[in-house]
Amino acid sequence: MGLQSKIEWTDRTFNGWWGCTKVSPACANCYADSMSKRFGHNVWGPSAPRRWLSEDNWKLPTKWNAEAERKGINIKVFCSSMSDVFEERDDLDEHRSRLFNIIEDTPFLTWQLLTKRPENIERMIPAEWNTNGWPSNVWIGTTIENQEWADRRLPILLSLPAAKRFVSAEPLLGSIDLTKYLTDPKLLPLDWLIDGGESGPKSRVTAYDWFRELRDQCAVHGIAYFHKQ
């Protein structure tokens, strides 16, 4: 798992566990849910157990960090492509704590933490991150599939003092105007925006103009823009 990710905006993927619960329209046709079922794992929904991955899998970031240090490079790691680090479940606490320790111990990796639950971040990260500052190798992101969810999630994201803040507007399900958040002096900057349509047999329609609007807003405000699909 994780070597040379097929996700265009990262280098590797890491999952400590599989499974999640759907929380917003972007989740309706979740690829991770479909993939889990193809492998015969029933790990989706609040009552389903999560699938815990092996010790060998947990050792991968340490190996990648040694590789990055040896080669003098930085490796981007998309964390939890098959779950959500900030899902509210007691059985995740131990594994979350282990993940955060690994993040702190792998400074040559850039950890891309993408969540649909930004409201949980501040109380789930280690207390010292809130008091002493976040590790410099953490990027924090959230999904904003339409204006409603941008309005809910973006102000929270832009209050978090991570090294970089990014959003994934994928699947993009409506027109989004980010202007009031990008011009609010009380909020931290947005550094990166990824957008894309939905794929698969149940994919919902995305209008080209929705992508153009986000591209143009990024250009005006100096935000890195990546169009995925």
> Can you say whether the dihedral through the CA atoms of 38, 99, 228, 181 is positive or negative?
positive
Query: Could you give the CA distance from residue 153 to residue 120 in angstroms, rounded to a whole number?
Result: 11
Average pLDDT over residues 217-228: 97
Per-residue pLDDT band at 6 (split at 50, 70, 90): confident
Distance (Å, rounded) from C-alpha 46 to C-alpha 220?
Answer: 41
| Per-residue confidence band for 128, with pLDDT thresholds at 50, 70 and 90 | very high
Measure CA 116 to chain center: 8
Q: Encode pLDDT of 153-169 as tens digits.
A: 999 999 999 999 999 99
pLDDT band at 4 (very low <50, low <70, confident <90, very high): low
33-43 tens-digit pLDDT: 999 999 999 99
Q: How many CA atoms lie within 13 A of 206 on its CB side?
A: 25
Q: How confident is the model at residue 9 (pLDDT cuts 50, 70, 90)?
A: very high
Put residue 54 in one of left, alpha, beta given phi > 0 → left and psi -120 to 50 → alpha: beta
Question: How many angstroms separate the CA atoms of 92 and 152, rounded?
Answer: 24
Mean predicted lDDT score pLDDT of the chain: 96
* pTM beyond 0.85, yes or no: yes
Q: What distance lies between CA 131 and its chain's CA centroid? A: 23
Residue 171: name the closest of 215, 140, 192, 202 by CA.
202
Instruction: Flag whether pLDDT at 187 surpasses 80.
Output: yes
C-alpha 154/C-alpha 7 separation (Å) is: 23
Q: How confident is the model at residue 96 (pLDDT cuts 50, 70, 90)?
A: very high
Residue 77 pLDDT > 80? yes
Let me know: does 82 contact 36? Beta carbons within 8 Å.
yes
